[in-house]
Structures are given as structure tokens and as C-alpha cells.
Amino acid sequence: MADRILIVEDNESLRAGIRVSLEDSGFVVQEAATGEEAVQKLETESFPVVVSDIRLGDLTGVDILKKAKEVNSETEVILMTAYATVETAVQALRLGAFDYIQKPFELEQLKHRVHNAFRMGKMRGELEFYQKVEYRNALEEGALVAESRGMKNILSIIKKVAPTTATVLINGDTGTGKELLATLIHFGSPRANSPLVKVNCAALHENLLESELFGHERGAFTGAEKLRIGRFEQADKGTIFLDEIGDMSPTTQAKVLRVLQEHEFERLGSSGKSIKVDVRVVVATNKDLRIEVKEGRFREDLFYRLNVVNLNVPPLRERGSDILPLARFFLNRYSVDFKKKATGFSPGAIEKMRLYAWPGNVRELQNAIERAVLLCDDEIIEASHLTMDSRPEGEPVTTEHTLNLEELERGAISRALQMTQGVQKEAAILLGVSPRVLNYKIQTLNLDWRSYRAGK
């Protein structure tokens, strides 16, 4: 079934142009020239997305928004606004509008927002699965905010494997949210009401880690004055999450392998008594375990036991379409937490976030937004409120005196193409130019846009 949209606009030529553009993209479009006509259609037909002008002859776009939400709270509303009514549009966002677009605009920009609105509706269906099994901890950290293909694929895999007992290996840079994904896996399984036990293998010395994982008997070593229950035992009937398993010593690796193979272990200092456990194992690492195996630092047999389901979490710099949704998620969260009135980002702030490489990944973005909300006393976060490093990761610090316009353009276009995997229409939207202008710049700068495509 095709996606249905209601366009509410009293300017006939603009309304017709929008209709043709959206129909060319495969949408089914209904039109309303007045607010009253829009209300009648909303009461009799179903529209997942409504695009409305703020200033109409009889009603306002805010009236349309309220009516749409009254009829169906899941309807997404995009408001079209002139410069003089931007403040009204910002207020509408507080009332539940999905987004707004300022006139005059290019139709490609509107289509991009419409596609995002429909994706939001589809994500809500996915969200019901996770909320049903109470994924609260992970949801609070934005684990389900995913617009990029890579993260959507990961969430799709999690939905399939969470109800099973399969061991899961999560690969990803520091700060990409590996622990949150482990939380999703646990709470999506039949073990959701049993313990989820988390251990950071890099935070403890080898001997301490063994005692932490497997426990010890009284007198097992100096200072062991009483019996200690280990984390595997605590996780019985539940899930254990071993973070940074690539830092685990070979001795401890052998004991973890035994748990995976035989579902049993012995406490340190035990006289040979084995303890049986029923534990699902989820592990994470920021290392390439295949290289670790090849260089003799990680057991090959353990690697294959762990690598049943492998989730490769991309760094945030490769998830350009996730940056703004995540930023908005954290903005809403911290505005509530700190009782601040910030509700959106200025174009300069958005550009700064999109062009930054985020070496600290989602964690760094979260911290940057938290600081920005604390510093901002207005409704809009400005670029000056974002105090992270302003240069992309891996690029040298360059003064403005050594840069010329062509170098700046080349860098900005290259980053936009990288974020969008070579899709020129999406890159043009990121850069705020028309696809025709972007194509001209790509040719004049002799850039190979095909090299940015996925799989290249």
C-alpha cells in the first residue's frame, strides 16, 4: 500500500508543485486548499503524514496540527513557514510537529523531510516490540535512534536473535553503544526477567578478573576471608555481558571457553567441585579478534564459540543520517532533565555537528549536547554552544590563512558524500544546495562521487 500524504496549502501553484513532486516519488497525495477542507479530510481519511502551511485563510497550521493529532496521535505533521513565522513553527514543534521547512524551499528538501516522517512512523512499529519487553535502560540512551542503513540492519538482526540463546559478538569503536545493544538483546529474550550482569574485562587485573567472573572459595588466596559468588553464577538463568573481551588473558579465556562448551566452571580455590550454570553470553570488543587470533593473543576456539552472531557497529562518522536524530533525542532528554527551554538547533549548529568526525562517537555527541543544553538559555542551540573540537578526526589543525575556498568546498563536499554514501541528492540536502549545483561542483573539483558509494 502506497504512503498517503495530505497537503494543506492555499497557494494553488505551490500546492500543485508539491503534489507532482511527491507523486513522482511514489506517494499518494490528497490536497486541501483551506483549513476546513483539511479538517474534513482528516476526519474521514487516514494520513500518516500531513504537510501544511502555517498561514491559511481560515485556520492556522497549528490548528491543523492539533486536529491531526486529535484524530490520530501517530500522524506526523510537517509545517511550511515564511521567515516571519519561524517562531510560530518552533512553538508548533513543542506541540508535536515532526518538523518545519522555511519558505522558499526546494522540493527535494521537502521530500527529504517527508521520507524522514514516514521512517519515523515505521520506527514506531519497531519500537513497540522493544517497549513491550521493557527496554528502558537502552531507550534512555537513544539506542533505537537509527536512521542509517547500518544501524537499522543491526536493530533488525537484534530483533531476530534476541529471543534465541545464541552467543553474540559486538564489534565497534569506544562510545558506539555496544553495551546498550547488549541490553536490548537481554530484554528482548525470554531471560528478560532474570539478571543482566555486566563486566568490563579491561578494568580488572587478570587475577581479579578471574575472581570476579568465577568467584572464589574462602582461603583461596591471601585476603579471601569468605566465599565469593562470581558473576557467571550471579547471571544464572540470565545474560552475562563481557565488555572488552579482547583484553582478557589466555588463562581466563580458557575458563570462559569451558563455560560456553560445558556450561560449568569452578571457583578459585575449589577442590574440584563444578558449578553448573545456564547463562547466555554476549561479548563486545573494540579490537579485531581475527587479528588477535592470528597474532596469538586470543584463542581461536573461543573466537569461533563467540562469533555465532556478529554485530559490527559503525562509528558515528559513518552514520551521518543518525547524527541529527540522536542530537534531537539528547536535546529533548536534557532539556527536560535540566528544566531548560532549548527545543532545536540553529543551521550553524547543525552544520557543525554534521561536519565533525565524532572520534568519541555517540558518547561524545551525548556529552556535547548535554553541555550545550546547560550553556544555552534560549530555545535554539547555536554553534557556539557546541564546544567539541571543530575539526574532523585525523585531519591536521589548519589555520584559516592556509585554506582557500576551493579546499573548503572540496572538504565539505567530500564529507557530505561520505556521510550519504555517494547519494548526491542527500549530500545536497546536507550542504543546503540544489543537486544541480552540487553536481556542477563535483565536476569542477574533479571529485569521484562513485568512490563514496556503499561497498566501494
375 and 434 inside one domain: no
Looking at 333, 363, 390, the residue that finishes a domain is 390
* C-beta separation of 9 from 59 below 8 A: no
216 and 249 inside one domain: yes
* Tens of pLDDT, residues 51-100: 999 988 889 999 999 999 888 878 899 999 875 455 666 667 767 788 88
At residue 122, the pLDDT reads 64
At residue 401, the pLDDT reads 35
210 and 348 inside one domain: no
Note whether residue 152 is domain-resident: yes
166 and 298 inside one domain: yes
CA 211 to CA 217: how far, in whole Å?
10
Query: Which portions of the chain are predicted below pLDDT 50?
Result: 1, 84, 127-137, 139-140, 390-404
Q: The pTM is what?
A: 0.58
At residue 453, the pLDDT reads 74
270 and 418 inside one domain: no
404 and 338 inside one domain: no
* CATH, residue 360: 1.10.8.60
232 and 348 inside one domain: no
At residue 413, the pLDDT reads 83
* Tens of pLDDT, residues 223-239: 777 888 899 999 999 99
At residue 436, the pLDDT reads 73
297 and 229 inside one domain: yes
At residue 454, the pLDDT reads 63
Burial of 125 by CB count in 10 Å (0-12 exposed, 13-18 middle, 19+ buried)? Answer: exposed
Note whether residue 405 is domain-resident: yes
Closest by CA to 306, choosing from 252, 237, 242, 230, is 242
145 and 38 inside one domain: no
Q: Which domain holds residue 386?
A: 315-390
307 and 369 inside one domain: no
Looking at 92, 126, 160, the residue that finishes a domain is 126
Q: How many structural domains comprise the chain?
A: 4
At residue 239, the pLDDT reads 96
Note whether residue 190 is domain-resident: yes
CA 185 to CA 135: how far, in whole Å?
9
248 and 303 inside one domain: yes
8 and 75 inside one domain: yes
Note whether residue 61 is domain-resident: yes
Looking at 126, 161, 189, the residue that finishes a domain is 126
Note whether residue 131 is domain-resident: no
At residue 396, the pLDDT reads 35
* Tens of pLDDT, residues 341-389: 888 888 888 989 988 999 999 989 999 999 999 999 888 999 999 987 5
Note whether residue 348 is domain-resident: yes
At residue 255, the pLDDT reads 96
Query: Can you tell me which residue has the cell 474521514?
Result: 44
At residue 130, the pLDDT reads 46
